[in-house]
Amino acid sequence: MKDSIEEFFHSFRQELMSSALVNGSFELSSFMETIADELLETGFTEGFELCHYRAQRGMRIDGYWFNDEGVLSLFIADFDSRVELESINRTEISTIFKRVINFFNACITKDLASYLEVTSPEYGLARQITDRFKHIQKLNLVIFSERAISIRIKEIPDDEILGIPTSFNIWDISRLYRQRNSRNKKEPLDLNFEEMFGNGIYCLPAHLGEDSYKSFLIVMPAEIIASLYGKYGAQLLEQNVRTFLQARGNVNKGMRSTILTEPGMFFAYNNGITATARGVGVKENEKGLQITRIIDLQIVNGGQTTASLFHTKKRDNADLSKIFVQMKLSVIDDNDISESVVPKISEYANTQNKVNAADFFSNHPFHIKMEELSRRLWAPAQQGAQIETHWFYERVRGQYADAQSILTPAQKNKFKTENPKTQMFTKTDLAKFENVWDEHPKWVNLGAQKNFSQYATRIGKSWSKDQSIFNEFYFKRAIARGIIFRATEKIISSQAWYNGGYRANIVAYTLATIGEIAKNNKQSIDSLKIWKSQKIDPVLEKAISITAKKISEIISHPPQGISNVTEWCKKDSCWNKIKDQTDIISASLPDDFFGTLISDTDEKESQGVAKIIQKIDDGIKAQKEAISISPTQWHKIHTELNNRGLLTPKEAEILRLAEKIPFKIPSEKQCIILLTLLAKAKEEGCIKP
């Protein structure tokens, strides 16, 4: 049974206090980052940087993000660590928005940056706003509130600030509550085309009356597509597509050329858009059927088409009036069916494109493997404790909460004891833990989504080459890296020299530097030791604190022409400058630090043993699954694939052997091939999935 909003508020408050304690941060920072993580996952924002600034002149800012499309999001908190759920009214909302507007105005009209400390995060933001003012296409002002707004406040109209189109959004506790309780784990868009554009859009139904599935063919005006993308951005893109665009940029040169030089041919040249929805509103007139409303529109293929139309209109002032795009819209209003069907539509729609399989993140076998390991492996009990625990990998957003939704209070307490919230980690967390140690700290500084897209591409290539490297050792090493990562956040926050800014940047480059120093000495961090103790030792803690101070000094003084530290940390030149100083940093570390490291030979030996074990486990699993399939079924697969000319002589021989189960038992290697043939038979439609 779902909690009430009051129960959710108190649970959320405990979550914040626990997170702040574990990460060594203030509750305000934990509050902002927790809600930002929710928004990142759903595409409401593409990134988030903390930046707390208050002034007596009625100005305040708590976070920001510049995206690649000229959109600046400014975030402000309504947070006072309240112990009871309270409401927030329209007057209070206006006052809060006024503070962030004052900050923005002061950056432009009063040169606010010139009054701020040059090493502070607020200086970097203010200077960046001033320098990029002419290139800001849109301003998003967002309140994060621990209070609940009245249901009467449905929407705040868009406006302009200093000539820039501005939208106003409020993420209050009730909106967060609705999102976390949503089966989709996201707040659906409700698009009323008659209200937004004056008319519905003509369509052709393409379904046969199935209750749970309807489909429509639509010729969409490009102006409407660009307008929707301009207003909602990545919220329109299904998460797989969002990841794809993060990795490959937004504008296709061929599409841009067609838009500008042959707009009338765009329909003929373009493959169109594939989309899904949870519901539609339709009406019929003398001209035909119109779609008047779409609930939870998600583009699962054609994200690059959508982005290219928007960007070409914005950057080149292109006329889109003669351009139309074909759209296939699948409407799936059954939540249970939607959870399994929508990912398949996304995957199959993108098979014609060169999309790395890992981009289909939650469904990729790598993530399924990590989930299986996280549920199976017990982390050793920490000193003084008697209970072993799991590190819970949330492969799909909301799994941690869903796992508790049907439990009794006693069962829920047991679950939380065995799966502490502080040991829950997501796909974007895993990408951060891994990339900083694998010489990719710049990616981590690009933001959660872009960092994950890079990690997904890298993992996809590795998975296709050798799946056995993703084994128990890989998982334990990833957790050890996560323990170090979170410990480093806490260490930095407790340092006397730390002024409260750029912690994420310092963490990424501190760990990358320690990894670089170890590599230069042909050594590695002893991951298994950290896994066994579930904490870092005082020697590593000392090395981290020394390195972090050095890193803070380096990144706080970007080269001439770069005023924003955060932007500096996103450049290769920043990492190169740090690497040039690793010898100096290494010399400042305590001698006993190097004694805690293990040799690269020992590290590779552990990896090799784990690979062998994994291959044995995979073989046993494959043999068990292959033997469970009847000889009759194998005979059918053999006949169907052979009739279609899809078998090699070796594969045919192995299938003939499978037809003799249980009198003849295929080897583990043969069973792995049999399962590959089983998957091929399903793809070819020889047997039902």
Residues 220 and 78 in one domain: no
Which residue intervals of 187-234 are DSSP H helices? Answer: 193-197, 222-232
- HSE-up of residue 545 (Cα within 13 Å, Cβ side): 15
Residue 612: CB atoms within 10 Å? 12
Tokens of 354: 């060169």
Residues 159 and 67 in one domain: yes
Residues 436 and 544 in one domain: yes
Q: Which of 353, 380, 407 is the last residue of a domain?
A: 353
Q: Which of 139, 161, 181 is the last residue of a domain?
A: 181
Of 450 and 687, the one with more pLDDT: 450
Residue 429: CB atoms within 10 Å? 19
Is residue 351 predicted with pLDDT exceeding 60? Answer: no
Tokens of 242: 């969002």
Q: What percent of the chain has pLDDT over 70?
A: 88
Residues 166 and 227 in one domain: no
Read off the pLDDT band of 613 (50, 70, 90).
Answer: low
| Full DSSP string of 2-37 | PPPHHHHHHHHHHHHHHHHHHHT--HHHHHHHHHHH
Is residue 87 situated within a structural domain? yes
pLDDT at site 63: 93
Distance CA 615, CA 612 (A): 5
As a whole number, the mean pLDDT across the chain is 85
Q: Which of 14-18, 546-550, 637-641 has the lowest mean pLDDT?
A: 14-18
Is residue 466 situated within a structural domain? yes
pLDDT tens, position by position, 415-448: 999 999 889 998 889 999 999 988 788 889 888 8
Distance CA 180, CA 176 (A): 6
pLDDT tens, position by position, 214-228: 889 999 999 999 999
Is residue 359 situated within a structural domain? no
99-117: average pLDDT: 94
Residues 532 and 424 in one domain: yes
611-634: average pLDDT: 77
Is residue 675 predicted with pLDDT exceeding 80? Answer: yes
* Residue 147 φ then ψ, to 5°: -100, 175
Is residue 160 situated within a structural domain? yes
* Domain extent for 19: 5-181
pLDDT at site 447: 83
Q: What percent of the chain has pLDDT over 90?
A: 38
Can the peptide bond before residue 649 be classed as cis, meaning omega within 30 degrees of 0?
no
76-94: average pLDDT: 92
Residues 374 and 426 in one domain: yes
pLDDT at site 342: 60
Residues 322 and 411 in one domain: no
pLDDT at site 414: 92
Tally the domains of the chain. Answer: 4
Q: Which of 124-138, 491-505, 593-607 has the lowest mean pLDDT?
A: 593-607
Distance CA 446, CA 569 (A): 8
Read off the pLDDT band of 348 (50, 70, 90).
Answer: low
Residues 266 and 372 in one domain: no
Tokens of 61: 């800012």
pLDDT at site 419: 93
Q: In terms of C-beta density within 10 A (0-12 exposed, 13-18 middle, 19 or more buried), how is residue 135 classed? A: exposed
Is residue 374 predicted with pLDDT exceeding 70? Answer: yes
Residue 1 DSSP code: -
Residue 184 DSSP code: T
Is residue 358 situated within a structural domain? no
Is residue 257 situated within a structural domain? yes
Residues 494 and 419 in one domain: yes
Is residue 115 situated within a structural domain? yes
Read off the pLDDT band of 45 (50, 70, 90).
Answer: confident
Residues 112 and 224 in one domain: no
Tokens of 96: 């809060």
pLDDT at site 356: 42
Handedness of CA 611, 615, 617, 621 (dihedral sign): positive
Is residue 402 predicted with pLDDT exceeding 90? Answer: no
* Residue 277 φ then ψ, to 5°: -155, 160
Check: CB of residue 30 under 8 Å from CB of residue 20.
Answer: yes
Q: Which of 572, 596, 620 is the last residue of a domain?
A: 596
Q: Are strands 148-149 and 87-88 parallel, antiparallel or unpaired?
A: parallel
Is residue 208 predicted with pLDDT exceeding 70? Answer: no
Is residue 296 predicted with pLDDT exceeding 70? Answer: yes
Distance CA 314, CA 347 (A): 30
Short-list 109, 119, 112, 160, CA closest to 136: 160
Is residue 307 predicted with pLDDT exceeding 50? Answer: yes
Residues 197 and 342 in one domain: yes
Q: Which of 7-21, 420-434, 513-527, 536-550 has the lowest mean pLDDT?
A: 7-21
592-609: average pLDDT: 81
654-664: average pLDDT: 87
117-132: average pLDDT: 90
pLDDT at site 251: 59
Is residue 358 predicted with pLDDT exceeding 50? Answer: no
First CA to last CA distance, the chain: 33
Predicted TM-score of the model (pTM): 0.72
pLDDT at site 242: 57
pLDDT at site 146: 94
Rounded to 5°, angle at Cα 542 from 540 and 543:
65
Residues 117 and 176 in one domain: yes
The interaxial angle of helices 538-555 and 503-520, nearest 10 deg, is 120
Is residue 396 situated within a structural domain? yes
**Of the ranges 242-246, 572-576, 606-610, 641-645, the best mean pLDDT one:** 572-576
Is residue 337 predicted with pLDDT exceeding 60? Answer: no
In sequence order, what are the residues at sequence separation of 6 or more whose Cβ sits closer than 8 angstroms to the Cβ of residue 387? 381, 417, 418
Tokens of 31: 């509050």
Is residue 345 predicted with pLDDT exceeding 50? Answer: yes
Tokens of 482: 């996560």
Residue 141: CB atoms within 10 Å? 22
In sequence order, what are the residues at sequence separation of 6 or more whose Cβ sits closer than 8 angstroms to the Cβ of residue 548? 488, 491, 492, 495, 506, 507, 510
